[in-house]
């Protein structure tokens, strides 16, 4: 009796929130309210699914569920009209109710041992209820073929009341940099719908490719959809740039677009197409150079980045864009069309006599206002057709009382949250998509352990932490925050598998950000639901990141010259197993229970384990231990690259990396124009005969090898005697790298060791950025 009472108390305590200890309710995004109940509902061949007789949409929703359950389980459920009286027996009923509080997407679902009742006011609510139902079932509900082993096709009883926080819940995909087939776009939409996203932002055009058929302008796909080759690696990866030499192309026919639009609509997903203007237009200019400000020549971009050649605001350019948008509007449901507006350099406009004449004619102040004129013209035309524009937050730049976008223009705030706040204060609707939280092409774990990505660092927990509505925005502005979108740019994502790896599980975090109320969000609870999410993604054959389970290493350099290594993982129920002999750790390797000490250079590898099963990928680090480790270091000129770099990172035992943006290099310290002058104070006078220093070579980013490296030794820190000099070649180009230089000399006793990497000052003649200020940057320094 006591056990029964405790069970019921435990279930009742979960009203409005389910217990972290129970994986039976691992729904993502988390419902607004979930009340756990005793018992289970089991699907059997006798289960009847009932919908209103005259409601074809609900029949379709129910029919799709019946077919998927049959595909996976072999069970055959019967679809019947809803009876006037309450049905008896094992049943799933879809019941339309008049309840304005549910809105168009809210629902209630009551799961009892003998029946499931779903109530909603609109079809979308029933659709989202079924998505929750899928997630309550065993993950193998998503199997594309019958499951042969025994599965309990049942659900724990509960009651759910649910509706979204925001009406706009978007996920973006760039198909211009790399093209993805219709089959993958459909799979992408399936995953959006399962996690209750309702918008797919299809980025169809950019400098590197035009991906949508326009019948009036066939060269857009004949020429603009193709590029002759593609840059290898990051933009600063090599000097000169290296290319793969492989022609690349692809586009969607209008028939394929209609197919995708119809497919999305069946999944309650609206597609917003993006046609970039006036920048990011090289693919247009390659096909139709007459729309540029110069005679060209133009070609579809083979590199990434921002290009100076943009559309020129001729009358014929506007005619072209109106023609293009007319065909685009005929393919998509509306009401939005995205017109881009971001990253439009003004150099071509500054040089163009036509643009300068137009600026004077229109009495504009500058080229920024010329872009406002360009955007406002497109906006006015789109609005005249009954549509609305969305643009990146630059569409507000250069606005003036005389020339501005219409009040109905929606701003997509990507340059932080400030632009979104500004737009909302100006009474524009806003979609928040700040890069620091919502760009899923960023690295999500240790860069040195991850596949190539755009740069920057946005881990799962950071994405989950985002709140789209700023507290300091007044209520009049908060009502303009329509919702959130996560963006997936594909410069470095060549395959569908790479896209999925970057998107999942971070998109699940986004789903909860945009659907679930802040008071219902809970990071520990979300992570408790991750294992079930991963099982669902496995069943859906999705390639996803398991970075949540990664082991993180925290080395601490100690004054005695040793290195203390701490290991941690975010998963509280997992063990960490590690090795120090170079072998890959397994569940049988030593278990980590406390920090351990290294007294010599060592390769450490670690992995998370639970129930004797490896959860994550093996992480590996090489640690340096020398007489310099953990000692005192001073830089004559403070390091400024990366920003706020501490001198101690040069002797902390951890090797650096140049992966990502130049400004984001980890474990290195750089100075501009000055010498990198480091003095290391040892604990006591010692005999030394070898110094190694890692020097960064990234000439595409103006980080050059020094012209000379000097090593000097002192007893008092004041008077130094030179013991070694080596000459290097600052003009050496090639791949970005950290090159370790070893300087050996006759043994000498000293307490202070000074290493000076002498900066060439200016980039030498004959190099790409000749005359620019040069940097010198160093990695780990060791002394023996």
pLDDT in tens, 417-475: 999 999 999 999 999 999 999 999 999 999 999 999 999 999 999 999 999 999 889 99
Residues 754, 638 share a domain? yes
What pLDDT is recorded for position 229?
98
The CATH number that applies at residue 777 is 2.60.120.260
> Is 768 domain-assigned?
yes
The CATH number that applies at residue 578 is 2.60.40
Residues 152, 184 share a domain? no
CA 352 to chain CA centroid, nearest Å = 37
Smallest CA-to-CA distance from 529 within 543, 558, 508, 515 is with 508
User: What digits encode the pLDDT tens for the residues 350-393?
Assistant: 999 999 999 999 999 999 999 999 999 999 999 999 999 999 99
Q: Is the pLDDT of residue 13 over 60?
A: no
Residues 241, 154 share a domain? no
Q: Is the pLDDT of residue 334 over 50?
A: yes
**What value does the mean pLDDT take over residues 130-152?**
96
Residues 332, 196 share a domain? yes
Please give the Cα distance from 458 to 477 (Å, whole number). Answer: 27
Tally the domains of the chain: 4
Q: Is the pLDDT of residue 649 over 90?
A: yes
The CATH number that applies at residue 295 is 3.20.20.80
Q: Is the pLDDT of residue 6 over 50?
A: no
- Give the structural domain span for 739: 632-783
Q: Which of 562, 597, 622 represents a domain boundary (last residue)?
A: 622
> Is 423 domain-assigned?
no
Mean pLDDT, the chain, rounded, equals 94
What the block records as the tokens of 247 is: 């022609």
The sign of the CA dihedral 437, 549, 448, 487 is negative
Strand partners, 338: 274, 390
Residues 595, 530 share a domain? no
What pLDDT is recorded for position 10?
37
What pLDDT is recorded for position 89?
81
> Is 130 domain-assigned?
yes
Q: According to the 3-state scheme, what is the secondary structure of 328-370?
A: HHHHCCCCEEEEECCCCCCHHHHHCHHHHHHHHHCCCCCHHHH
What pLDDT is recorded for position 664?
84
Instruction: Find where tokens 């009932």 sit.
Output: 50
CB of 458 within 8 A of CB of 443?
yes
User: What digits encode the pLDDT tens for the residues 221-257?
Assistant: 999 999 999 999 998 899 999 999 999 999 999 999 9
Q: E-strand spans in 467-539?
A: 481-486
Please give the Cα distance from 107 to 127 (Å, whole number). Answer: 9
What pLDDT is recorded for position 610?
95
pLDDT class of 12 with cuts at 50, 70, 90: very low
User: What digits encode the pLDDT tens for the residues 256-302?
Assistant: 999 999 999 999 999 999 999 999 999 999 999 999 999 999 999 99
What's the longest Cα–Cα distance across the chain? Answer: 99
> Is 386 domain-assigned?
no
> Is 125 domain-assigned?
yes
What pLDDT is recorded for position 21?
41
Please give the Cα distance from 516 to 514 (Å, whole number). Answer: 6
Residues 558, 529 share a domain? no
Please give the Cα distance from 173 to 58 (Å, whole number). Answer: 30
Residues 470, 453 share a domain? yes
Q: Is the pLDDT of residue 557 over 60?
A: yes
CB of 744 within 8 A of CB of 690?
yes
pLDDT class of 573 with cuts at 50, 70, 90: very high
Element (H, E) at 202: strand 199-203
Residues 686, 607 share a domain? no
Q: Is the pLDDT of residue 87 over 80?
A: no
Please give the Cα distance from 626 to 613 (Å, whole number). Answer: 36
Please give the Cα distance from 609 to 131 (Å, whole number). Answer: 31
Element (H, E) at 422: helix 418-425
Residues 49, 140 share a domain? yes
Instruction: Find where tokens 């009495």 sit.
Output: 363
Please give the Cα distance from 706 to 697 (Å, whole number). Answer: 9
User: What digits encode the pLDDT tens for the residues 680-698?
Assistant: 999 999 999 999 999 999 9
> Is 359 domain-assigned?
no
Whether 105 sits among the annotated catalytic residues: the reply is no
> Is 385 domain-assigned?
no
In eight-state DSSP terms, residue 106 is -
What the block records as the tokens of 463 is: 């994405």
User: What digits encode the pLDDT tens for the residues 672-681?
Assistant: 999 999 999 9
> Is 441 domain-assigned?
yes
What pLDDT is recorded for position 11?
35
What pLDDT is recorded for position 236?
87
Give the number of other CB atoms < 10 A from CB of residue 343.
15
In the set 259, 343, 735, 784, the catalytic residue is 343
What pLDDT is recorded for position 9?
32
First to last CA, the chain: 72
Q: Is the pLDDT of residue 595 over 60?
A: yes
Q: Which of 509, 539, 569 represents a domain boundary (last residue)?
A: 539
Residues 307, 207 share a domain? yes
Range in 8-22, 73-87, 338-352, 592-606 with the lowest mean pLDDT: 8-22
Range in 594-603, 616-625, 656-665 with the lowest mean pLDDT: 656-665
Instruction: Find where tokens 């007294």 sit.
Output: 599
What pLDDT is recorded for position 14?
37
Smallest CA-to-CA distance from 222 within 149, 154, 300, 287 is with 287
Residues 146, 6 share a domain? yes
Phi, psi values for residue 373, rounded to 5°? -60, -45
**What value does the mean pLDDT take over residues 641-666?**
90
Residues 177, 48 share a domain? no
Q: Which of 578, 602, 622 represents a domain boundary (last residue)?
A: 622
Q: Is the pLDDT of residue 18 over 60?
A: no
**What value does the mean pLDDT take over residues 702-710?**
97
**What value does the mean pLDDT take over residues 595-609?**
98
pLDDT class of 661 with cuts at 50, 70, 90: confident
Range in 500-514, 538-552, 619-633, 649-663 with the lowest mean pLDDT: 649-663
């Amino acid at each position: 009796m006591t056990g029964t009472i405790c069970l019921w108390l435990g279930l009742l305590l979960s009203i409005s929130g389910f217990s972290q200890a129970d994986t039976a309710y691992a729904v993502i995004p988390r419902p607004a309210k979930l009340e756990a109940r005793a018992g289970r509902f089991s699907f059997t061949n006798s289960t009847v699914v009932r919908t209103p007789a005259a409601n074809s949409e609900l029949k379709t929703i129910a029919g799709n569920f019946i077919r998927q359950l049959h595909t996976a389980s072999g069970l055959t459920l019967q679809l019947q009209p809803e009876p006037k009286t309450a049905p008896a027996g094992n049943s799933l009923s879809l019941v339309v109710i008049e309840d304005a509080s549910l809105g168009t997407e809210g629902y209630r679902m009551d799961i009892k041992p003998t029946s499931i009742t779903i109530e909603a006011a609109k079809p979308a609510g029933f659709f989202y209820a079924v998505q929750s139902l899928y997630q309550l079932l065993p993950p193998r509900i998503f199997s594309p073929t019958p499951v042969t082993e025994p599965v309990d096709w049942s659900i724990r009883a509960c009651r759910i009341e649910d509706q979204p926080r925001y009406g706009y819940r978007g996920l973006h995909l760039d198909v211009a940099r790399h093209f993805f087939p219709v089959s993958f776009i459909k799979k992408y939409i399936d995953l959006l719908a399962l996690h209750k996203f309702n918008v797919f932002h299809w980025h169809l055009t950019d400098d590197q490719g035009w991906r949508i058929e326009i019948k009036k302008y066939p060269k857009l796909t004949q020429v603009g959809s193709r590029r002759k080759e593609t840059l290898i690696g990051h933009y600063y990866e090599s000097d000169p740039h290296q290319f793969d030499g492989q022609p690349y192309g692809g586009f969607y026919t209008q028939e394929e677009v209609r197919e995708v639009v119809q497919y999305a609509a069946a999944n309650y997903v609206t597609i917003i197409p993006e046609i970039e203007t006036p920048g990011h237009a090289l693919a247009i200019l390659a096909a139709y150079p007459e729309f540029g400000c110069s005679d060209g020549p133009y070609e579809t971009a083979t590199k990434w980045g921002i290009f100076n050649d943009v559309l020129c605001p001729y009358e014929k350019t506007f005619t072209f864009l109106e023609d293009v948008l007319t065909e685009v509007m005929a393919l998509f449901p509306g009401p939005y069309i995205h017109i881009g507006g971001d990253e439009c350099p003004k150099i071509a406009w500054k040089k163009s006599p036509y643009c300068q004449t137009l600026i004077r004619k229109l009495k504009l102040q500058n080229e920024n206002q010329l872009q406002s004129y360009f955007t406002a013209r497109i906006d006015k035309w789109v609005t005249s057709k009954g549509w609305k524009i969305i643009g990146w937050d630059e569409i507000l730049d250069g606005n003036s009382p005389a020339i501005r976008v219409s009040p109905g223009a929606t701003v997509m705030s990507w340059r932080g949250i400030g632009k979104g706040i500004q737009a909302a204060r100006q009474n524009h609707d806003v979609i928040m998509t700040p890069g620091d939280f919502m760009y899923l092409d960023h690295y999500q774990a240790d860069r040195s352990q991850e596949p190539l990505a755009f740069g920057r660092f946005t881990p799962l927990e950071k994405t989950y932490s985002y709140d789209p509505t700023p507290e300091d925005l007044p209520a009049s502005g908060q009502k303009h925050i329509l919702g959130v979108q996560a963006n997936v740019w594909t410069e470095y994502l060549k395959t569908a598998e790479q896209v999925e790896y970057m998107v999942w599980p971070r998109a699940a975090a986004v789903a909860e950000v945009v659907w679930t109320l802040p008071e219902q969000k809970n990071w520990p609870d979300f992570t408790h639901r991750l294992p079930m999410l991963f099982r669902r993604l496995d069943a859906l054959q999705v390639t996803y990141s398991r970075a949540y389970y990664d082991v993180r290493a925290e080395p601490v350099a100690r004054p005695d010259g040793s290195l203390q290594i701490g290991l941690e993982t975010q998963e509280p129920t997992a063990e960490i197993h590690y090795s120090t002999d170079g072998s890959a750790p397994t569940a049988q390797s030593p278990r980590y229970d406390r920090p351990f000490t290294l007294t010599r250079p060592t390769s450490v590898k670690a992995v998370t384990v639970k129930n004797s099963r490896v959860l994550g990928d093996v992480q590996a680090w090489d640690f340096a231990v020398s007489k310099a480790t953990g000692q005192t270091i001073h830089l004559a000129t403070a390091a400024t690259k990366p920003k706020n770099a501490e001198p101690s990172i040069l002797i902390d035992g951890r090797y650096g990396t140049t992966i990502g943006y130049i400004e984001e290099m980890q474990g290195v310290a750089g100075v501009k124009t000055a010498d990198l002058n480091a003095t290391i104070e040892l604990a006591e006078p010692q005999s030394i005969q070898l110094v190694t220093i890692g020097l960064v070579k990234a000439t595409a980013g103006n980080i050059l090898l020094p012209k000379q490296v000097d090593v000097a030794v002192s007893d008092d820190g004041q008077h130094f005697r030179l013991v070694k000099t080596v000459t290097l070649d600052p003009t050496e180009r090639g791949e970005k790298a950290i090159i370790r230089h070893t300087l050996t000399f006759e043994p000498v006793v000293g307490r202070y060791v000074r290493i000076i990497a002498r900066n060439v000052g200016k980039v030498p003649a004959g190099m790409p950025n000749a005359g620019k200020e040069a940097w010198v940057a160093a990695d780990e320094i060791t002394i023996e």
